Amino acid sequence: MTHDVHIIGGGLAGTEAAWQLARRGYKVRLSEMRGGAAGERSPAHQGDGLAELVCSNSLRSDDDTANAVGLLHYEMRQMDSLIMHAAAKARVPAGSALAVDRDVFSREIENALTSHDNLTLCRERVDTLPAAGLTIVATGPLTAESLAQSIGAATGADSLAFFDAIAPIVYHESINMDVAWRAARWDKGAEASIALGSDGKDYINCPMNKAEYLAFREELLAGEKTVFKQWEANTPYFDGCMPIEVMAERGEDTLRFGPMKPVGLDDPRTGRWPYAVVQLRQDNVHGTLWNIVGFQTKLKYAEQQRVFRMIPGLENAEFARFGGLHRNTFLNSPTLLDRQLRLKSSPHIRFAGQITGCEGYVESASVGLLAGVMTACELAGRDWIDPPRSTALGALLAHITGDAEAETYQPMNINFGLFPPIVTEKKIKKADRKLVYTSRAKEDLAPWLAATGLGV
């Protein structure tokens, strides 16, 4: 098939970009390294399915009235996002968060694309940037070395890098429910889960007393860790995915005010809050797999089994997947990309997803969506109009392509700090600020969608 656009990378950004182009009648060649004859995979991937979720199974908050990522969900749904369609079909109970069965999620996306007449999926590795033809590079933060070198040669600048860590997953049947108990996460989000047919008690809680917590922290610090290669030694961690043992190094109580916060969780055996709590979130539809929330780690596999079995309720835990650590790379996008995500030195090439320096599943997919519709506008000969900066899409795009300081550019989740401030004569109560931001975004999104014809 002769194609209009070549998309390199079958992750969340690449598949979303492909969908946006194919549904508008353009021929797409989607190249994905995994599943090819050579059997290649990145260090973090477990399978060959498109849009594999390699870290958490959560797309984070689905609250579009008080949360920036929930607002991004809303905006993507208004633009017929494939990622959001698949998430709806693969959803599992997680309170007010949008969590999915990762296998169902990937399968829904792959089926939608491979059954589309305008798309050809090629299981192939691309080693160099195409010299001509509209191209979207969405290879993510684990771009193959050969292509990364080609990108480096084209940009004339070294990519930045940071470490990203993966949380372990355990089998439900191996959790001791005589010790652990079910509840909402910090007693929040029960209403959202009940509306989805759940009982609202979507998290498994493993309690610790002070002595257990202190002993556990000591073993986190003492456990044998992954050894970095020399070239990795000065690569920083990203705060949004900090390894559990690195958090433990920051102070005795850091974990108790972070992923092990016990607030609002009454242990049914005592009627009181534990000193600390480890929480697990359902990872698949059947409820057989549960991931340990916030427990990204660089501990070696044998150490993970030893140390994490110190957690009350997980003393006999069987692991479906251990945690891990991988090196992510991304472009200095404010310097290298124009306002339409095009490489300034080679404008036939767009970049999308985490390689641009956005962080998170939903953010990655949303930048893929933007790259797809930008390319569609270019093919149609229409002028591109940026989404309003008051929207989540507009705020994220502005951050990537110019608002951020190039010298200190780092991966960023969507957050209200990226939005233009609310200007009003009346002081807005702190409790109302997020609602004001989301309401303004929705009001500004509607006319933009109408003017551009990009709405559902």
Last residue of a domain, one of 310, 327, 344: 327
194/323 same-domain check: yes
pLDDT band of 29, cuts 50, 70, 90: very high
The Cα–Cα gap between 369 and 93 comes to 26
282/301 same-domain check: yes
In sign, the C-alpha dihedral spanning 212, 217, 219, 223 is: positive
What is the tens place of the pLDDT at every residue in 239-261? 667 899 999 999 999 999 999 99
CATH of the domain at 426: 3.50.50.60
The verdict on whether residue 398 carries a ligand-binding annotation is no
Burial 370-383 (b: 16+ CB within 10 A, else e): bbbbbbbbbeeeee
190/269 same-domain check: yes
Output the DSSP codes for 124-162: ----S--SSS-EEE--GGG--HHHHHHHHHHHTSPPEEE
Domain span at residue 253? 166-327
173/312 same-domain check: yes
Do β-strands 5-8 and 135-137 pair in parallel, antiparallel, or remain unpaired?
Answer: parallel
CA-wise closest residue to 440 among 370, 392, 403: 392
The confidence score (pLDDT) of residue 313 equals 98
What is the separation, in whole angstroms, between the first and last Cα of the chain? 28
pLDDT band of 456, cuts 50, 70, 90: confident
pLDDT band of 199, cuts 50, 70, 90: low
186/299 same-domain check: yes
Count of domains for the chain = 2
193/318 same-domain check: yes
Quick check: 186 pLDDT over 70?
no
Say if pTM beats, i.e. exceeds, 0.85. no
27/53 same-domain check: yes
115/29 same-domain check: yes
The verdict on whether residue 200 carries a ligand-binding annotation is no
The verdict on whether residue 14 carries a ligand-binding annotation is yes
139/171 same-domain check: no
The verdict on whether residue 9 carries a ligand-binding annotation is yes
CATH of the domain at 322: 2.40.30.260
126/39 same-domain check: yes
The verdict on whether residue 160 carries a ligand-binding annotation is no
Last residue of a domain, one of 303, 327, 351: 327
The verdict on whether residue 394 carries a ligand-binding annotation is no
> Which residues are within 8 A (CB) of 211 and not within 5 positions of it... i.e. 6 or more apart?
none
263/385 same-domain check: no
Distances (CA, A) of 71 to 78, 92, 384: 11, 20, 22
